[in-house]
């Protein structure tokens, strides 16, 4: 079962990449966290840490406070993740995915597609017609694509994303 922390990790992965996912746990804190401590815990440099934080910050999903070091005169930044905004971000990503899959399903259910089996390339009906159902590359004749398997896969994906969306929405209600 997916948990809030998994969702926050996923947000970081979408924005920064898999290598940065561990920062999600550190930023998910009731208190703001010192960026030097984040860097130390992740085993990366302060500049690498800031780069990650700025990327997430561009989406408005983290907030910070800063404190001045009285002796040295410089500022240290303290960060935390905005849970609600991050969940909303993930929700929108999922909604877009679901929309795309629905579009693909509709297209596969209502339109004809053709393939050159030898070259493994696909054409929609208009393009296949333009090419006279003949492959430019190998001269082979197109066959009509059987969409059954693809549709099953798309619907399975749709289910998966819909379930995830439900879980994210539950987390949003809880937060």
Site string for Zn ion, 97-116 (x = CB under 5 A): -------------------x
Q: Based on the shown chain and the rule CB under 5 A, indicate whether residue 56 belongs to the binding site for Zn ion.
A: no
User: Residue 138 CB, nearest distance to Zn ion (Å)?
Assistant: 3
Compare residues 29 and 136 and give the one whose CB is closer to Zn ion. 136
- Compute CA distances 167 → 27, 104, 158, 162, whole Å: 21, 24, 14, 9
User: Residue 113 CB, nearest distance to Zn ion (Å)?
Assistant: 15
Compare residues 14 and 119 and give the one whose CB is closer to Zn ion. 119
Tell me how far apart the alpha carbons of residues 157 and 166 are, in angstroms, rounded to a whole number. 14
Compare residues 26 and 121 and give the one whose CB is closer to Zn ion. 121
CB atoms within 10 A of CB 175: 12
State how beta strands 62-68 and 33-34 pair.
Answer: unpaired
The stretch near Zn ion (CB under 5 A) out of 56-64, 68-76, 130-138, 159-167 is 130-138
- Beta strands per DSSP E along the chain: 33-34, 62-68, 75-81, 113-116, 121-124, 143-144
Integer-rounded Cα radius of gyration of the chain: 24
Enumerate residues 132-171 that contact Zn ion by CB under 5 A: 135, 137-138, 140
118 Rama sector, left if φ>0, alpha if ψ -120 to 50, beta otherwise = alpha
User: Residue 107 CB, nearest distance to Zn ion (Å)?
Assistant: 23
Among 3, 119, 141, 144, binds Zn ion (CB under 5 A): 119
Q: Name the site residues for Zn ion (rule: CB under 5 A).
A: 116, 118-119, 135, 137-138, 140
């Amino acid at each position: 079962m997916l948990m809030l922390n998994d969702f926050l990790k996923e947000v970081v992965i979408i924005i920064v990449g898999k290598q940065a996912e561990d920062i999600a746990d550190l930023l998910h804190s009731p208190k703001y966290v010192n960026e030097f401590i984040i860097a130390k815990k992740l085993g990366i440099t302060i500049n690498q840490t800031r780069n990650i934080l700025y990327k997430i910050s561009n989406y408005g999903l983290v907030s910070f406070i800063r404190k001045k070091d009285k002796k040295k005169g410089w500022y240290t930044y303290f960060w935390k993740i905005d849970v609600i905004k991050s969940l909303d971000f993930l929700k929108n990503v999922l909604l877009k995915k679901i929309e795309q899959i629905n579009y693909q399903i509709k297209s596969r259910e209502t339109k004809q597609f053709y393939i050159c089996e030898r070259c493994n390339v696909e054409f929609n009906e208009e393009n296949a017609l333009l090419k006279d159902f003949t492959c430019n590359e190998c001269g082979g004749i197109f066959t009509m694509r059987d969409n059954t398997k693809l549709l099953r896969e798309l619907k399975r994906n749709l289910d998966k994303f819909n379930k995830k969306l439900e879980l994210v929405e539950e987390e949003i209600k809880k937060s």
